[in-house]
Amino acid sequence: MSKENIKIEVDHITRVEGHGNIEVNITNGTIEKIQWQVPEAPRFFEAMVVGRDYSDVATITSRICGICSIGHTFASLKATEAAMGIEISDATRKLRELLLHGETLQSHILHVCYLVVPDLLKVNSVFPLIETHKDVVLLVTKLHRLANELCDTIGGRTTHPIRARVGKFSKMPDKKELENLKARLVASVDDLKKLADVVKSLAGNIPAFERDTEYLALTYDKEYAFYDGDCITNDIKKVISVADYRRVVNEFIVPQSTAKYGKFNRESFMVGALARFNNNYKQLTPLSASVGEMLGLSKPNTNPFMNNIAQVVESVFAVEKSIELIDWLLADELKLETAPVKPKAGKGAGAVEVPRGVLFHEYEYDDKGKCIKANCVIPTNLNHNNIQLDMEKLVPEMMGLGEKELQFHLEMLVRAYDPCISCSTHYLDVSFTK
């Protein structure tokens, strides 16, 4: 490593959702500072919902994030339903699961293909790939469109779902829509296999980097958890109920971030596709598990860059499960089922696995159903501390590659986590001095 002092300032790390900064100072070959910072404008959702009627809360908190608006809607509805003791019907639950798989597929395809693949091909965006890899780009837009149309068909709108309400869906899809959707999902399995082959051809460019950490996810005895489940990590033997989520997330405030951080048994934990995979891989379908094996995803896996591979695995899983859920829905009459809702005072927490990890919402209501207190714990926040510790291990290991490559790897690391920073509270400025 050079002993010179070189000053590098790169503004605005791109291709992430939201704003974050990386600051690295290396002087005379000595590392003085490595810091991941989140300067996103805080938005104060927990204050925004205070005083609002229970029926409006999910409409508002859905707006925490455009990419995972469906997950926010469900965490919110589940928390409200828990607070008021509302039991939803099986059909409502299955429709929610289906809609959540649609969002997972949409988000994973967008992230892996539009935001990460340019790194693996060393280009600055997906745009040049329209010329050089047109077939692949068209394959990707086709899958992305299908995922969005699933969300449209079930939720009434691609982003910020309309039909998902407290205790019910306000409108059901019809039989023909579901049959059409199923046929397209069945046909998309081959497209996903082609996509997995493309990813395999690029997988050699995924950096070799390992750091074992605590992996936090929901787990559910009946299936690989997305909609239902309790909290689990690789460091605990017994699951912890969602109602006790504060014991798990332990949020704290740091000076370098407007987003709150979290930790449990170690200095940091990781949430997201890799954390779900590491805790629940035994519950994958044979096809999704085989895609993981083909792409070199060991069980468990401690390379954070492999989060993107876990996202490919989960995309296959989401399609297979969606087909299953549609079959279930089609086996019965599609009619509106509304759970009885009676506003009452109470407190409740709800959690779902969204593309970037486990998401918690908690609300307290008065006897008229007005929200008096809210807490939303966002998966991207939970990852910030883990990103920091990954950087602290990665910088000394890779500083020999030179400043340009080091910076490239740091940016790529952040992107691997698929951070959705506007959720947490936008621009990634990298400035580092060497």
Partner 1 sequence: MSAKPKVAFFDFACCEGCQLQIANLEESVVGLAQLVDVVEFREVLTGKAQEYDIAFIEGSITRKADEARIKDIRSRAKMLVAFGQCAVSGGVNRLKNNWANMDEVKQEVYGDSYNMPHLDTYPTKGVGEVVKVDFNIPGCPINRDEFLRVVKELLIGRVPRLPNYPVCVDCKMQENACLFDFSITCLGPLARAGCGAICPSNGVACDACRGTVDNPNKNAMHEILTKYNYTVDEIKEQMNIFGVEPEV
Q: Can you read off the two tokens belonging to residue 149?
A: 């149309």
Does position 187 interact with partner 1 (CB under 8 A)? The reply is no
Does position 243 interact with partner 1 (CB under 8 A)? The reply is no
Of 23, 46, 337, 397, which one interacts with partner 1 (CB under 8 A)? 46
Least distance (Å) between residue 19 CB and partner 1:
8
Q: Site size for partner 1, by CB under 8 A?
A: 64
- Pick the piece of the chain touching partner 1 (CB under 8 A) from 27-35, 313-321, 359-367, 420-428: 420-428
| CA distances in angstroms from 128 to 12, 180, 203, listed in the order given | 20, 33, 20
Burial classification of residue 301, based on how many CB atoms lie within 10 Å of its CB (0-12 exposed, 13-18 middle, 19 or more buried) = buried
Residues in 258-277 that interact with partner 1 by CB under 8 A: 258, 260
- Pick the piece of the chain touching partner 1 (CB under 8 A) from 80-88, 185-193, 248-256, 377-385: 248-256
Does position 334 interact with partner 1 (CB under 8 A)? The reply is no
Of 49, 113, 387, 406, which one interacts with partner 1 (CB under 8 A)? 49
Does position 205 interact with partner 1 (CB under 8 A)? The reply is no
Least distance (Å) between residue 110 CB and partner 1:
7
Does position 145 interact with partner 1 (CB under 8 A)? The reply is yes
What span, in angstroms and rounded, lies between the C-alpha atoms of 406 and 417? 17
Of 93, 163, 184, 193, which one interacts with partner 1 (CB under 8 A)? 163
**Of 201, 366, 391, 369, the residue nearest 305 (C-alpha):** 391
Of 2, 5, 14, 205, which one interacts with partner 1 (CB under 8 A)? 14
User: Do residues 17 and 421 lie in contact, with contact meaning Cβ atoms separated by under 8 Å?
Assistant: yes
**Of 64, 116, 158, the residue nearest 380 (C-alpha):** 64
Q: Can you read off the two tokens belonging to residue 52?
A: 């609002």
**Of 381, 378, 383, the residue nearest 417 (C-alpha):** 383
- Pick the piece of the chain touching partner 1 (CB under 8 A) from 16-24, 207-215, 280-288, 390-398: 16-24
- Of the two residues 103 and 314, which places its CB atom closer to partner 1 in the complex? 103
Does position 39 interact with partner 1 (CB under 8 A)? The reply is yes
Does position 193 interact with partner 1 (CB under 8 A)? The reply is no
Q: Can you read off the two tokens belonging to residue 78?
A: 């589940």
- Of the two residues 266 and 370, which places its CB atom closer to partner 1 in the complex? 370
Q: Can you read off the two tokens belonging to residue 44?
A: 């104060």
Identity of residue 277:
F
DSSP E strands in 288-403: the ranges are: 346-354, 357-365, 371-377
- Pick the piece of the chain touching partner 1 (CB under 8 A) from 156-164, 208-216, 295-303, 347-355: 156-164
Least distance (Å) between residue 163 CB and partner 1:
5
- Pick the piece of the chain touching partner 1 (CB under 8 A) from 38-46, 93-101, 181-189, 343-351: 38-46
Q: Please, how many CA atoms are within 13 Å of residue 368, restricted to the half-sphere of its CB?
A: 5
- Of the two residues 48 and 240, which places its CB atom closer to partner 1 in the complex? 48
Least distance (Å) between residue 389 CB and partner 1:
21
What residues contact 177, with CB distance under 8 A and at least 6 apart?
A: 153
What span, in angstroms and rounded, lies between the C-alpha atoms of 290 and 384? 31
Question: Helix or strand or coil: residue 276?
Answer: helix
What residues contact 346, with CB distance under 8 A and at least 6 apart?
A: 83, 84, 85, 364, 365
Does position 114 interact with partner 1 (CB under 8 A)? The reply is yes
Residues in 295-314 that interact with partner 1 by CB under 8 A: none
User: Do residues 397 and 334 lie in contact, with contact meaning Cβ atoms separated by under 8 Å?
Assistant: no
**CA-only gyration radius of the chain, Å:** 21
Bridge partners of residue 403, in order along the sequence: none
Of 35, 59, 89, 431, which one interacts with partner 1 (CB under 8 A)? 59
- Residues at the contact surface with partner 1, assessed by CB under 8 A: 11-12, 14-18, 39, 41-53, 56, 59-60, 63-67, 69, 110, 114-115, 124-127, 130, 137-138, 141, 144-145, 148, 156-160, 162-163, 165, 170-171, 253, 255-258, 260, 422-423, 426-427
